[in-house]
Amino acid sequence: MKLTKTLMATTALTVAAAAAHADGHGMADSMTLVSWGGAYQSSQQKAYVEPYLAMNDGVSSTWDESSAEAVAKLRAMNEAGNVTWDVVDVVAADAIRLCDEGLALEIDPDSDLAAAPDGTSAEDDFGDLLVSDCFIPQIVYSTTFGYRTDLVPEGVDAPSDICSVFDLETYPGKRALEKRPINNMEWALLCDGVAKEDVYDVLETDEGQDQALAKLGTIKDSVVWWSAGADTPQLLADGEVFMGSTYNGRLFSAIVEQNQPIGMMWDAQVFDLDGWIIPAGLSDDRLARAKDFVKFATDTQRLADQSKYISYGPARASSAPMVGQHAELGIDMAPHMPTDPANAANTFLYNYEFWADYRDDIDAKFQAWLAQ
Amino acid sequence: MSDATNSGPVLSADGTPLKRSLARALRRQKMRALMLIAPLLIFVLVTFILPIADMLWRSVENQIVTNTMPRTVVALADYDGASGELPGEATFEAAYYDLYIAAERKLHTRLGSRLNYEQTGASSLFRKSGRGLDDIGEVYMDQFEDLDKNWDEAEPWAELMGDPAWLEAQGKWQKGQTQPTFKASGAIKELLPRTAEQYALFAEFQQVDKDKSPLREEPWSAVHTALYQDLAEADVSGYTGPQADLLKAADALVASPDFETVTFKAGFEEIDEDWMDPEIWVTIQTYSPELTNGYFLNAVDMQKSPDGAEFRDERERIYGLLFKRTIFMSMVITISCILLAYPVSYLLSNLPARSANLLMILVLLPFWTSLLVRTSAWKVMLQQQGVINDILVWIGMVADDSRLTMINNQFGTIVAMTHILLPFMILPMYSVMSTIPPSYTRAAKSLGATNWTTFWRVYFPQSVPGIGAGSILVFILSIGYYITPEIVGGTTGTFISNRIAYHISSSLNWGLAAALGTILLAVVLLLYWAYDRIVGIDNVKLGG
C-alpha cells in the first residue's frame, strides 16, 4: 500500500515536473536534425549541437542522414500529414524548391535570426546569401577541381585554368565530372569562348546548350561521371582519374587529412550555399524549439566555430574574420576556404533562378546525350 | 410418422434445418480461413496493392491546374492558341484573381513547378508573379485609401460586406472556437458581386488558414480591385445599408476622370514579358484537364502539342532507349546467370551431402554480404588501376597505357549484377535438380545412350522447371535494379530505374516517375504472360 502511494506520488511529481518544464519554455524537448552525414555533419554536431545541448538541459537531439533526399521525403511526409523532422540541412537550390512547394516555413531574418555582435541585423549580415524566404544559410562551399600532382606531365605547369579540364593533349588522363548538367555546362561554354557574363544568356538557347554539349563531347570518352561527392576523392586517390570536380571540403580532407598527392585548382569554382530550413506543419512546441535552435546555431560565433572542423566558409560576413585554425591539425583554415581572396579570383555563383527554370529541360537533353 | 418427417425440411441435431446448419458451418470455416490469412492480406494490401494503385493514379492525375486556377481554365476554354494571339482581358482578369489567392496560400509556386515540366521558365514566372500581383491592386487600393482611411481598415469593410447575423456571431468569436462562416449581406451581393466573392475568399483565408477574425484584418488589394470593377459598372445611389456614405464617395471617385486605372493585361506585362507570349497560355490550357496522358507521353519520349501527340526532339529522347537497354541487359544477365549456375547446381545436387553443404555455404556467403560492399568490391576489381588490370599488366597481356575499361559501362554492370543475382538462380535450380532421381540417367546409359544424349534427352528436360523459376526471379529482379547500375553503370550501363529514382528524389516529377513505373510494371506482366504462353507457368518449380 505504502509502495503504491509512493509510486503514485513519484509519478505525479514527474508528470508535474515534465509539464512545468514544457510550460516553462513552450518548447519540445527533443528534436530531429537532418544532415548529410560524414565530416560535415560531425562539424555541425561539434560546433552547434553540443554547445546547444549543454545550454539546454534535458533537450536531446537525433540525426537523420537524409539531406540528399530531403525534398522528396519532406514532400511525402507532408502528404502523409506527419512531419517527423524539426530542422533540415539542405542546399540552397533545394531550399528554394521546398519553399516553392510550401514545404518549408518562411522565416523573418530580423526576428528569427540573431544579429551580429556589432549590432548589424541578420539580414544585412547574411546579405545576398538569403536566396530564399525559407533559407537560413550556414556555409559557402564550392564545387571545384582537384588533380593528381604526381601525374602532371613533366615540363608542364600544374593546371591552374579551368580549360585544362578540356585540354587532353597537355594534361592526358581521365576526368571525373558530376553526372548532371549544372556546372559542367557553364565550364564547357566558358572554355568554348563564351564570356563569363554571357554564359547564362547563351545557355538559355538551344544552340547554346548544343554548344556546351559539343564541348563536353570532346572529352566525353575520357570522363568518369560521379553522383556522390565521395567518388572523386576516391578516383583521385586510386589514380583512376587525373583531375575531377567535387566539393572543396572533400578535397581538403583528402589532401590535408589523408595526405594524398592531390592539388587544388580553384579557377572558375562554383559557389553554392548550404543551410537550414524548418519544415512547414510543425506543432507549436516543436516549432519553438526548432526556431530557438536555428537562431543559436546560425549566430556569428557558431558559424565561425564550424570552420574549425571543415573547410567551408561561414555564411555571415561577421564570422569571416573569426575563422581560425583547424581544431585537430592546428593549421590555418583561411587559405583552404573557397572564399579566400587568393582562391576566389575567378568564381561563379550557382545561378538558382536559371537552374530552377531550366533544370528539367537541360537535364533531359544532358541525360539523353550521356546515354547515346 | 414417417410422413411427418418427410414433409418438413431435414433437421440437424439441434433442431435447425440441416441446410442452414451446413451453410453456417461452411461460413464459419470460411471466416476462420479468412482470419488466418487476414494479417498477410492486410499487410499486402497496405504495403503493396495500395501503393501500386496510388502510383497508377499519380501517373494520370493532374488536378493542380484546375484547382489553382479555376477561373482561368474556364476563361481559356475557347482560346485558340494556334492563332498566335493572346487571350482576352477576361482571361487576364481571371488569372489575376486566381493567382492572387493562390499566392496568398502559397500554391502558385507549386503550380509553377508543375508547369515547368512542360514549359521551361514557368517556375520563375509564377514565383515572380506571386510577388508582382500586388502592384495591380495597389493602384486602386492607394486611391481608395487616399479618399478615406476607412478603406484600409478591417471593420468598415466587414460592416459593409457582411450579413448582420454573421457580423454579430463573428464579433463574439474568441480564439479556440470555430469561426462562423462568412455570409455577405444580400444587398451587397447583388450590387457588388465581384467584391462579395473576393471578400468571401479573403474572409475564408483569414478564418481557415490563419485562424484570424476578418473583423481585425484589413482586406488585401484584390478586394479593392474587385470593388473598382464593380463600382465602374454598378449604380450604388440606391444603397442604404451600412457604410453607404463610404461606398457612395468611392463610387464618385471611380466615376471621376482623374481616377487611375490599369488593365489586367498591362499589369501582367509589367510583371513579366513572358505573359505576353501565347505559349504560357497554351500550356495552361493544354494541361488544364484533371486527368492527363501527358506523363505517359513523356515516358515514351513524346509530348503534347496543339496538333496532338508528337515525338520529342531527337536529342531529348531517352526513355525508349533506356527501356530497351534495361530489357536487353536483364536478358543478358539472366542468360549469364543460367550458364554459370547450371554447372554449379548440377555439382551441388550430385555431391555427397557433406561437400554439398560446404559448397552451398560458399554460394550463400556473398548473399549474406551487403549489396553495397559487393558492388564496391567489383569497382576495386575492375577499375583501370584495379586488381584485374594490374595482374594483366604484370603478366604482360595488356600494355600499361592501354588498360582495359571494364567498369562504368555495360560490361561492368553485367558482371556485377550477374554476381549479385547468381544465388537466385542457383537455389531454385539446385532444389529442382536434387529431386531428379539418378536412376533415370543410369537407366538411359544402361540402354546405350551416350553421355550427351543422357544429359540432353533425360536429365536436362527434368531440370527445365528450375531454369524457368530461376530465370523469372533473376529477370524480374534485374529489370528493376537500381543501386548497382547507379554505382558501376557509368553512362551506358544505367537502367530505367535510375531515371525513375531521379524523378522521385531530384526533379520531383512524381507523375512522370509513376508513368515510367507503370510502364515497367506492364512490361514485366507482359513478359510473364508471354512466358506462361510459351513455356507454361506450371513448369516453374522452386523445389520438390
pLDDT, tens digit, for every residue of B328-343?
999 999 999 999 999 9
**Banded pLDDT at A15 (limits 50, 70, 90):** very low
The CB density around residue B191, as the number of other CB atoms within 10 Å, is 19
Rounded Cα distance, B298 and B402, in Å: 41
List phi, psi (to 5°) of A291. -65, -40
Grid coordinates given for B497: 530505374
pLDDT at A23 (0 to 100): 42
- The arithmetic mean of pLDDT across residues B14-26, rounded, is 87
The SS3 of residue A316 is coil
Cβ-based contacts of B491 with chain A (< 8 Å): 179, 225, 370-371
Residues 6 or more apart in contact with residue A280 via CB below 8 angstroms = A78, A83, A102, A103, A104, A105
Cβ-based contacts of B317 with chain A (< 8 Å): 368
- The arithmetic mean of pLDDT across residues A150-171, rounded, is 94
pLDDT at B534 (0 to 100): 81
pLDDT at A22 (0 to 100): 44
pLDDT at B336 (0 to 100): 97
Sign of CA dihedral B124, B127, B131, B134: positive
pLDDT at A18 (0 to 100): 45
Question: DSSP string spanning B384-441?
Answer: TTSHHHHHHHHTTSS-GGG----SSSHHHHHHHHHHHHHHHHHHHHHHHHTTS-HHHH
Chain-chain contact of B112 with A238 (C-beta, under 8 angstroms): no
Chain-chain contact of B109 with A101 (C-beta, under 8 angstroms): yes
**Banded pLDDT at A20 (limits 50, 70, 90):** very low
- The arithmetic mean of pLDDT across residues A206-214, rounded, is 95
Diameter of chain B by CA atoms? Answer: 117
Rounded Cα distance, B196 and B186, in Å: 10
Rounded Cα distance, B422 and B430, in Å: 12
Instruction: Kindly report the average pLDDT of chain A as a whole number.
Output: 90
Give CATH superfamily name and number for B319-539.
MetI-like (1.10.3720.10)
Q: Which residue has the higher pLDDT, B4 or B501?
A: B501
Whether B466 has a pLDDT exceeding 70, the answer reads yes
pLDDT at B500 (0 to 100): 94
Q: State which residue of chain B sits closest to A237, comparing Cα positions.
A: B385
- The arithmetic mean of pLDDT across residues B403-412, rounded, is 91
Grid coordinates given for B38: 487476414
Please state whether beta strands A223-226 and A136-148 pair in parallel, antiparallel, or not at all (unpaired): unpaired
**Strongest mean pLDDT among A293-297, A321-325, A342-346, B172-176:** A293-297
pLDDT at A19 (0 to 100): 44
Q: B109, B322, B410: which to substitute to probe chain A, counting the most A Cβ within 10 Å?
A: B109
The CB density around residue B172, as the number of other CB atoms within 10 Å, is 8
How close does chain B come to A73, measured CA to CA in Å?
8
Residues 6 or more apart in contact with residue B119 via CB below 8 angstroms = B279, B280, B283
- ipTM higher than threshold 0.90: no
- The arithmetic mean of pLDDT across residues B366-380, rounded, is 89
List phi, psi (to 5°) of B535. -100, -35
pLDDT at B1 (0 to 100): 44
**Banded pLDDT at A25 (limits 50, 70, 90):** low
How close does chain A come to B288, measured CA to CA in Å?
19
Q: Write down the domain spans for chain B.
A: 2-58, 70-284, 319-539
C-beta separation of A215 from A191 below 8 A: yes
- The arithmetic mean of pLDDT across residues B405-432, rounded, is 92
Q: B315, B329, B499: which to substitute to probe chain A, counting the most A Cβ within 10 Å?
A: B315
| B contact set with A (CB within 8 A) | 106-107, 109-110, 112-113, 116-117, 120-124, 127, 315-318, 321-322, 325, 383-386, 408, 486, 490-492, 494, 499, 504-509
Q: What is the pLDDT of residues B136-153, one digit of tens each?
A: 999 999 999 999 999 989
CA dihedral A274, A276, A281, A282 (to 10 degrees): 150
Rounded Cα distance, B443 and B450, in Å: 12
Match 530531429 to its residue by C-alpha cell: A32
Share of chain B above pLDDT 90, in %: 59
C-beta separation of A83 from A74 below 8 A: yes
CA distance from start to end of chain A? 81
**Banded pLDDT at B7 (limits 50, 70, 90):** low
- The arithmetic mean of pLDDT across residues A110-136, rounded, is 92
Angle between helices B108-116 and A92-100 (to 10 degrees): 110
**Banded pLDDT at A16 (limits 50, 70, 90):** very low
Lowest mean pLDDT among A9-23, A76-90, A184-198, B198-212: A9-23
Q: State which residue of chain A sits closest to B124, comparing Cα positions.
A: A357
Angle CA B466–B469–B474, to nearest 5: 120
- The arithmetic mean of pLDDT across residues B50-77, rounded, is 94
Q: State which residue of chain B sits closest to A221, comparing Cα positions.
A: B491
pLDDT at A14 (0 to 100): 46
Instruction: Kindly report the average pLDDT of chain B as a whole number.
Output: 90
Rounded Cα distance, A284 and B387, in Å: 57
Domains in chain A, please, with CATH? 25-134+278-322 (3.40.190.10), 144-272+341-371 (3.40.190.10)
Closest CB from B107, B116, B385 relative to A239: B385
Q: What is the pLDDT of residues A350-371, one digit of tens each?
A: 899 899 889 988 998 999 999 8
Closest CB from B110, B385, B408 relative to A101: B110
The CB density around residue B344, as the number of other CB atoms within 10 Å, is 18
Rounded Cα distance, A303 and B281, in Å: 46
- The arithmetic mean of pLDDT across residues A313-335, rounded, is 89
Checking A118-122 for CB contacts under 8 A at 24+ apart, the result is: A118/A318, A120/A317, A120/A318
pLDDT at A314 (0 to 100): 92
Whether B83 has a pLDDT exceeding 80, the answer reads yes
pLDDT at B272 (0 to 100): 93
pLDDT at B540 (0 to 100): 72
- The arithmetic mean of pLDDT across residues A219-248, rounded, is 92
Q: State which residue of chain A sits closest to B322, comparing Cα positions.
A: A371
**Banded pLDDT at B542 (limits 50, 70, 90):** low
